[in-house]
């Protein structure tokens, strides 16, 4: 302001005496004549001389601003309009003009403040409202943008620009369901265009709706080709959707061409983390920290990458009770030590107390209602390649304090392709399902193969086959098939629906304290829901309802299961898991139901 007034004083020296003796109208006429003749500096000097004597002449400030605008002297134009606005604070049109000049000169915050002031003075002016909405969007003020676009849409229900503005504002604010709805309304009205297709696909990806996001990107490619923005977005969606190999095929060339691009490096970090390449993921994370150390995206992905590479101490307590009057209380304590990103050592102790009422057939073979067992484990988890991990452990089991036998487990996880994975496990352990089974020292030795296939991002097929041999001479064969479909992916809730087909059989019914029918069949509908409270906390619900039959039943009977689990602190230092399960099976000999509760507390270091 000092600079402005100094310049004003110098410019008016030559004309201040004649102006002082002239009438106000004559001064203005003289200035207008000079401006009309293109004598800009003379006109400016005359106006400044008059304003030096009468600084509250709003009209003269505006005329001076007009001259500066014609000369493209934008800084001077802004100063003149600011003076005019100060002299007439209740002039909405003047505030609106000032907002437009701020916008033209890339001053978003000042433009928004001036526009909102103009709207306050002229609340029914739709043109001002529209400008404020767009300015708030440009300035990144999500609340002001939302409020203005909502009011604009209320006044003009078919306004597509308001729909798009609300889609963007709600998406940036994390209200993803609302954002997706507004994008849908906009596309329905005006159709798809290059920018909106990418934006809408990103919102779908943010809320975990990866199949819809990829479908949008496919439509983009069909209309606009494989542009670089398309490639960036497709790589990001595939990475989050657990398709790291497919994502890397797209992202690696982008990374080679743009080594310091934050967004491409971010996608690379996700690819490496999801692709079971922990050492490389940590190195890629370091690059993100170098590029944008304080960005919220960097802090979020850092937790995702570092959490699996932290040592931890975990305690778990488990309670089980059923209508056969069997009760099992179990507690375990585990220490897991990370040696390097590919190697982890584990030490664990499991302690169980099993009870059954006398006369149920599940008490110990010598007529006691209670028995205890404890197993001490040590193990190693080693990732050999991104596609292959080995998990081996060995333990020593005690029954009522007596050293009895050696337990072991050897597991291999194989990620054959992005869409296909296998887990093979061979194990030998106590079959601790009742006091009678434990007192008889029944041990189970078996091999289990699990497979998971995701032909696309909508369907998943899980399968399991196993063969077990028991130390009492019995054998079991089991198969489970569980296809399911993703039917809902929203901002705070996911839902999968499917079916479950289960079959197993034992060679003999030995009455050794465990359920061993000659044959068992179950066919059920399944549902899996997950409420996303935030990135660290969530609640899951699983349920099944179907028909089952064993060799003792004459016909199929109805039965169901339900499980509720809360997960709190998924990426934090403290991680809490709470789970409740209930099962009900109607049988010819009566109903059977079982209840289980579990609490797990993990401290990460």
Tell me the pLDDT of the chain averaged across its residues: 93
Question: C-alpha 389: how far from its chain's center?
Answer: 26
Task: Give 405's strand partners.
Answer: 397
Tokens of 222: 């069909």
Distance CA 484, CA 51 (A): 78
User: Both tokens of residue 159?
Assistant: 């306004």
Residues 517-533 pLDDT 10s: 999 999 999 999 999 99
Cβ atoms within 10 A of the Cβ of 400, count?
14
pLDDT for 54 equals: 87
* Residue 265, Cβ density class (10 Å: 0-12 exposed, 13-18 middle, ≥19 buried): buried
Q: What is the pLDDT of residue 496?
A: 98
The closest alpha carbon to 529, from 557, 565, 569, 482, belongs to: 565
Euclidean distance between CA atoms 473 and 509, whole angstroms? 11
In 10 A of CB 315, how many CB atoms? 13
CB atoms within 10 A of CB 532: 16
Q: Is the dihedral of CA 135, 138, 140, 145 positive or negative?
A: positive
Average confidence (pLDDT) over 14-33: 59
**Listed residue (140, 218, 146, 152) closest to 178, CA to CA:** 146
Q: Dump the DSSP string for 255-303.
A: HHH-TT-HHHHHHHHHHHHHTT-HHHHHHHHHHHHHH-TT-HHHHHHHH
Residue 364 main-chain phi, psi, to 5 deg: -60, 160
Strands 420-430 and 443-453: antiparallel
Prediction pTM value: 0.88
Nearest to 319 by CA among 331, 309, 310, 329: 329
Report the interhelical angle of 194-206 vs 176-190 (nearest 10°): 150
Token look-up 């940590």 returns: 282
Residue 17 has pLDDT above 60, yes or no: no
pLDDT of residue 587: 65
CA distance 501 to 505: 14
Which domains are delineated in the chain?
226-309 (1.25.40), 310-604 (2.40.160.40)
Residues 6+ apart with CB under 8 A from 261: 254, 255
The first and second tokens of residue 243, run together, are 């398709």
Confidence of residue 589 (pLDDT cuts 50, 70, 90): low
Whether 586 has a pLDDT exceeding 80, the answer reads no
Q: What is the CA radius of gyration of the chain?
A: 36
Among 73, 83, 7, smallest CA distance to 45 is for: 7
Determine the Cα–Cα distance for residues 257 and 265; give it in Å rounded to an integer.
Answer: 11
Distance CA 147, CA 125 (A): 15
For residue 281, which of 300, 306, 263, 260 has the smallest C-alpha distance?
306
Token readout for 203 is 């919102």
6 has pLDDT over 60: no
pLDDT for 162 beyond 60 = yes
pLDDT at 332 over 60: yes
pLDDT band at 592 (very low <50, low <70, confident <90, very high): confident
548-573 pLDDT tens trace: 999 989 899 999 999 999 999 999 99
Nearest to 229 by CA among 254, 256, 260, 252: 254
When pLDDT is averaged across residues 189-216 and rounded to a whole number, the result is 96
Inter-helix orientation angle 228-240/210-224, to 10°: 160
Report whether pLDDT(78) > 70. Answer: yes
Give the residue ranges of DSSP H helices in 275-397. 278-291, 296-306
Confidence of residue 386 (pLDDT cuts 50, 70, 90): very high
Of 27 and 22, the structure prediction assigns the larger pLDDT to 27
Residue 113 has pLDDT above 60, yes or no: yes
CA angle, 593 as apex, 587 and 594 as ends, to 5°?
145
Closest-CA residue to 80 (of 92, 93, 98, 100):
98
- The phi, psi pair for 203, rounded to 5°, reads -60, -40
Q: 358-381: per-residue pLDDT in tens?
A: 988 899 999 899 999 999 999 999
Per residue in 341-362, pLDDT tens? Answer: 999 999 999 999 999 999 888 9
Closest CA to 45 of 56, 59, 57, 34: 34
Please list, residue by residue across 460-484, b when 16 or more beta carbons sit within 10 angstroms of its beta carbon and e when fewer do.
bebbbebebbbbbebebebebebeb
What token pair was written down for 237?
């969606």
Spatial CA neighbour of 516 closest among 552, 548, 547, 568: 552
Is the confidence at residue 339, as pLDDT, over 90?
yes
Task: Decide: helix, strand or coil at residue 178.
Answer: helix
Most distant CA pair in the chain: distance in Å? 125
Q: What is the pLDDT of residue 412?
A: 98
Q: Buried (b) or exposed (e) across 221-244, using 16+ Cβ within 10 A?
A: eeeeeeeeebbbbbbbbbbbbbbb
Question: SS3 letters for 81-129?
Answer: HHHHHHHCCCCHHHHHHHHHHHHHCCCHHHHHHHHHHHHHHCCCCHHHH
**How many Cα atoms are found within 13 Å in the side-chain-facing hemisphere of 483?**
4
Residue 291 near residue 321 (C-beta atoms within 8 A): no
């Amino acid at each position: 302001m000092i600079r402005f007034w100094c310049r004003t004083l110098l410019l008016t020296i030559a004309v201040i005496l004649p102006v002082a003796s002239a009438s106000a109208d004559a001064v203005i006429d003289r200035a207008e004549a000079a401006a009309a003749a293109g004598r800009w500096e003379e006109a400016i000097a005359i106006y400044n001389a008059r304003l030096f004597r009468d600084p509250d002449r709003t009209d003269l400030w505006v005329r001076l601003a007009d001259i500066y605008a014609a000369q493209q002297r934008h800084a001077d134009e802004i100063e003149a309009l600011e003076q005019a606005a100060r002299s007439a604070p209740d002039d909405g049109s003047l505030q609106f003009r000032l907002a437009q000049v701020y916008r033209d000169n890339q001053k978003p915050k000042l433009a928004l403040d001036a526009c909102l002031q103009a709207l306050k003075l002229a609340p029914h002016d739709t043109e001002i409202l529209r400008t404020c909405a767009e300015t708030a969007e440009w300035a990144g003020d999500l609340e002001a943008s939302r409020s203005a676009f909502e009011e604009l849409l209320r006044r003009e229900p078919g306004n597509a620009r308001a729909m798009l503005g609300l889609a963007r504002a709600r998406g940036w604010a994390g209200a993803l369901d609302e954002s997706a709805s507004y994008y849908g309304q906009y596309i329905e009205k005006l159709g798809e265009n290059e920018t909106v297709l990418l934006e809408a696909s990103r919102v779908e990806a943010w809320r975990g709706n990866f199949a819809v996001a990829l479908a949008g990107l496919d439509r983009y490619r069909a209309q606009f080709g494989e542009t670089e923005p398309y490639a960036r977005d497709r790589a990001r969606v595939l990475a989050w959707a657990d398709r790291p190999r497919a994502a890397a095929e797209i992202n690696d060339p982008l990374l080679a061409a743009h080594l310091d691009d934050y967004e491409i490096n971010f996608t690379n970090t996700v690819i490496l983390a999801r692709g079971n390449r922990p050492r490389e993921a940590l190195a890629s994370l370091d690059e993100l920290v170098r590029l944008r150390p304080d960005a919220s995206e960097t802090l979020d992905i850092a937790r995702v990458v570092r959490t699996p590479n932290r040592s931890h101490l975990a305690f778990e307590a488990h309670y089980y009770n059923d209508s056969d009057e069997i009760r099992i209380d179990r507690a375990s304590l585990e220490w897991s030590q990370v040696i390097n990103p590919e190697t982890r050592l584990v030490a664990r102790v499991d302690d169980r107390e099993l009870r059954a009422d006398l006369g149920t057939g599940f008490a110990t073979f010598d007529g006691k209602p209670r028995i205890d067992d404890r197993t001490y484990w040590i193990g190693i988890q080693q990732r050999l390649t991104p596609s292959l991990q080995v998990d081996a452990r060995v333990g020593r089991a005690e029954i009522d304090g007596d050293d009895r036998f050696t337990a072991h487990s050897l597991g291999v996880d194989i990620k054959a392709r992005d869409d296909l994975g296998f887990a093979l496990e061979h194990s030998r352990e106590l079959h601790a399902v009742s006091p009678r089974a434990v007192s008889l020292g029944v041990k189970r030795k078996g091999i289990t193969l699990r497979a998971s296939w995701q032909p696309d991002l909508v369907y998943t097929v899980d399968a399991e086959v196993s063969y077990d041999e028991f130390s009492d001479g019995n054998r079991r064969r089991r198969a489970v098939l569980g296809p399911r479909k993703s039917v809902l992916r929203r901002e705070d809730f996911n839902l999968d629906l499917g079916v479950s087909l289960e079959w197993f059989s034992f060679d003999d019914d030995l009455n050794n304290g465990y359920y061993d029918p000659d044959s068992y069949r179950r066919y059920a509908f399944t549902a899996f829901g997950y409420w996303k409270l935030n990135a660290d906390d969530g609640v899951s619900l699983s349920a099944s309802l179907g028909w089952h039959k064993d060799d003792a039943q004459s016909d199929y009977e109805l039965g169901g299961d339900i499980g509720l689990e809360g997960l709190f602190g998924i990426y934090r230092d403290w991680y809490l898991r709470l789970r409740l399960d209930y099962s009900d099976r109607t049988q010819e000999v009566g109903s059977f139901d079982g209840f289980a509760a579990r609490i797990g507390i993990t401290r990460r270091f």
